[in-house]
């Protein structure tokens, strides 16, 4: 067994390092600590942060890849969820079902051929239909007791560590502990039930839908974060340069982002993705495995989204820089002989950074939804990759069946909705904390 690192894994680790550096900087800066304390001291914000932490943890576990002799390249998350991706049925099955969803022609022992619902190979192997619900109730009671014990122990430890802190009266302990309790319950629920049932059913080829949904989290997070790394250099550099230098530099940059903005984004992205697909098909020797090919396409999609989505932030930074460049401290820096690079990066960039931070957080949920839309129309991630858009695209035909196969669409919708909702709540909190105009409106 050896570790395997894909290109997107490097970006995930880079983002993780950047997050750690940011946390250290916040911890060492009294003003930033005060701002972030105001963010986390609101109940809804702390719940959103707990949810986002859970998603990020799953994404990181799915970014640690190892190569094994038996199963090829798998992630740490695959190892944790081993029963989910090894217990593959033949075709559709409903959540917590013991039998397949569709009838099949079965040859019985006495030679008769009948049409009936076949028994699933892995779900509830030792159970009869009469034993299923009592067994589920027994497991659910076991989950509740284990979650209550673990949640109580975590709560006691947290109160022992932080109970004497003076901030305790402002911190929303009830909301935080309630969110932690729900997370603990869901984790224990999945680990208790996944060896016995398919919690979200199976898809057309018998693959567990819950496994597909959890694997799609990494794709959504990478699209939402790595795209930002590609977008930031263009938006920040061009935005502050246009507002500071003005003249022909401003005209060129304005013409560039106005031209890009005038082209429909979906058409531009689709053209770039299809061109990339043609290049990859002609150079198959560059990709040794299916996983490396899918990773390359995911990274290319992030680059395409980043190159085509920097215009709005650039426009905001240009306008803010135009205003800041007329303020006295910039004029004083000119008078003291400061270089253009010094003024751009030491004086202007720190004063527009709150706009950058707010835009990044606000755009995250939009990029997650963009991936789902692009995969739905067939120009998103590689078909071999897991994504919510691919699941929704597959569910399009399933919804036309009679009876309807509803669980794939429902699972993708729930996980994507919770992530986008938590990201939007968190982005609103960041905007209120760092945007001076929001603070003024709040005071009024």
CB-count exposure of residue 115 (10 Å: 0-12, 13-18, 19+): exposed
Query: What's the token pair of residue 240?
Result: 């502050």
Q: What is the b/e burial string over 194-222, where b = at least 16 CB atoms within 10 angstroms of the residue's CB?
A: bebbbbbbbbeebbbbbbbbbbbbbbbbb
CA–CA distance, 226 with 303 (Å, rounded to integer)? 8
CA–CA distance, 266 with 377 (Å, rounded to integer)? 10
Q: What number is the average pLDDT over the span 188-198?
A: 92
Lowest mean pLDDT among 51-65, 95-109, 237-251: 95-109
Alpha-helical (H) ranges within 194-336 are 209-245, 247-262, 265-282, 290-308, 311-324, 328-335
Cα–Cα distance list, 314 to 176, 177, 249, 258, 317 (Å): 37, 40, 14, 11, 5
Query: What's the token pair of residue 156?
Result: 């006691």
- Give the end-to-end CA distance of the chain in Å, rounded to a whole number: 61
Q: What is the b/e burial string over 278-295, where b = at least 16 CB atoms within 10 angstroms of the residue's CB?
A: eebeeeeeeeeeebebbb
Instruction: Return the pLDDT at 164.
Output: 56
Query: What's the token pair of residue 209?
Result: 């839908």
Does the global pTM surpass 0.85? yes
Alpha-helical (H) ranges within 163-208 are 173-193
Instruction: Return the pLDDT at 72.
Output: 81
Instruction: Return the pLDDT at 436.
Output: 54
**Predicted confidence (pLDDT) per residue in 48-79, tens digit:** 999 999 999 999 999 998 888 877 888 999 99
Specify the DSSP element, H or E, that contains 114. strand 113-116
pLDDT band for position 440 (cuts 50, 70, 90): very low
CA–CA distance, 83 with 350 (Å, rounded to integer)? 49
Query: What's the token pair of residue 386?
Result: 């897991």
Residues 6+ apart with CB under 8 A from 95: 197, 198, 199, 200, 201, 407
CA–CA distance, 390 with 378 (Å, rounded to integer)? 8
Give yes or no for a contact between 127 and 137, defined as CB atoms under 8 angstroms apart: no
Residue 443 has pLDDT above 50, yes or no: no
Q: What number is the average pLDDT over the span 312-319?
A: 90
Dihedral angle of Cα 25, 28, 29, 33, to the nearest 10 degrees: 90
Q: What number is the average pLDDT over the span 275-280?
A: 80
Specify the DSSP element, H or E, that contains 73. strand 72-75
Instruction: Return the pLDDT at 163.
Output: 63
**Predicted confidence (pLDDT) per residue in 111-167, tens digit:** 788 888 888 888 888 888 888 999 999 999 999 999 999 999 998 888 887 765 544
CA–CA distance, 47 with 421 (Å, rounded to integer)? 11
Give yes or no for a contact between 392 and 412, defined as CB atoms under 8 angstroms apart: yes
């Amino acid at each position: 067994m050896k570790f395997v690192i894909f290109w997107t894994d490097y970006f995930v680790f880079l983002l993780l390092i950047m997050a750690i550096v940011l946390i250290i900087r916040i911890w060492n800066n009294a003003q930033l600590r005060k701002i972030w304390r105001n963010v986390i001291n609101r109940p809804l914000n702390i719940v959103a942060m707990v949810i986002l932490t859970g998603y990020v943890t799953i994404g990181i576990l799915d970014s640690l890849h190892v190569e094994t002799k038996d199963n090829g390249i798998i992630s740490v998350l695959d190892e944790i969820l081993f029963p989910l991706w090894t217990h593959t049925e033949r075709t559709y099955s409903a959540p917590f079902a013991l039998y397949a969803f569709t009838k099949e022609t079965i040859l019985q022992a006495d030679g008769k051929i009948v049409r009936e619902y076949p028994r699933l190979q892995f779900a509830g192997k030792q159970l009869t239909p009469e034993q299923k619900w009592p067994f589920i109730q027994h497991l659910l009671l076991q989950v509740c007791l284990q979650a209550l014990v673990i949640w109580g122990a975590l709560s006691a430890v947290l109160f022992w560590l932080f109970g004497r802190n003076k901030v305790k009266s402002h911190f929303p302990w009830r909301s935080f502990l309630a969110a932690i309790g729900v997370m603990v319950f869901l984790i224990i629920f999945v680990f208790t039930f996944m060896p016995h049932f398919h919690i979200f059913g199976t898809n057309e080829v018998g693959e567990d839908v819950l496994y597909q949904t959890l694997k799609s989290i990494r794709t959504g997070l990478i699209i939402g974060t790595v795209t930002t790394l590609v977008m930031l250099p263009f938006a920040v550099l061009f935005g502050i340069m246009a507002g500071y230098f003005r003249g022909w530099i401003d005209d060129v940059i304005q013409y560039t982002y106005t031209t890009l903005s005038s082209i429909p984004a979906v058409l531009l992205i689709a053209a770039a993705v299809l061109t990339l697909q043609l290049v990859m098909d002609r150079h198959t020797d560059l990709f040794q495995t299916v996983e490396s090919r899918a990773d390359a396409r995911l990274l290319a999609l992030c680059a395409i989204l980043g190159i085509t989505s920097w215009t709005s932030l650039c426009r905001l930074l240009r306008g803010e820089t135009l205003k800041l460049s007329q303020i006295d401290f910039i004029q004083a820096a000119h008078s003291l002989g400061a270089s253009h690079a010094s003024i751009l990066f030491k004086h202007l960039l720190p004063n527009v950074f709150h706009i950058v931070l707010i835009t990044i957080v606000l755009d995250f949920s939009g990029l997650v939804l963009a991936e789902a839309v692009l995969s739905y129309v067939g120009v998103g991630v590689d078909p071999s990759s897991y994504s919510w858009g691919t699941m929704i695209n597959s569910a399009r035909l399933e919804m036309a069946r009679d009876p309807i196969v509803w669980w794939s669409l429902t699972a993708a919708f729930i996980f994507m909705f919770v992530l986008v909702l938590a990201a939007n709540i968190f982005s609103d909190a960041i905007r209120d904390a760092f945007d001076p105009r929001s603070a003024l409106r709040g005071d009024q």
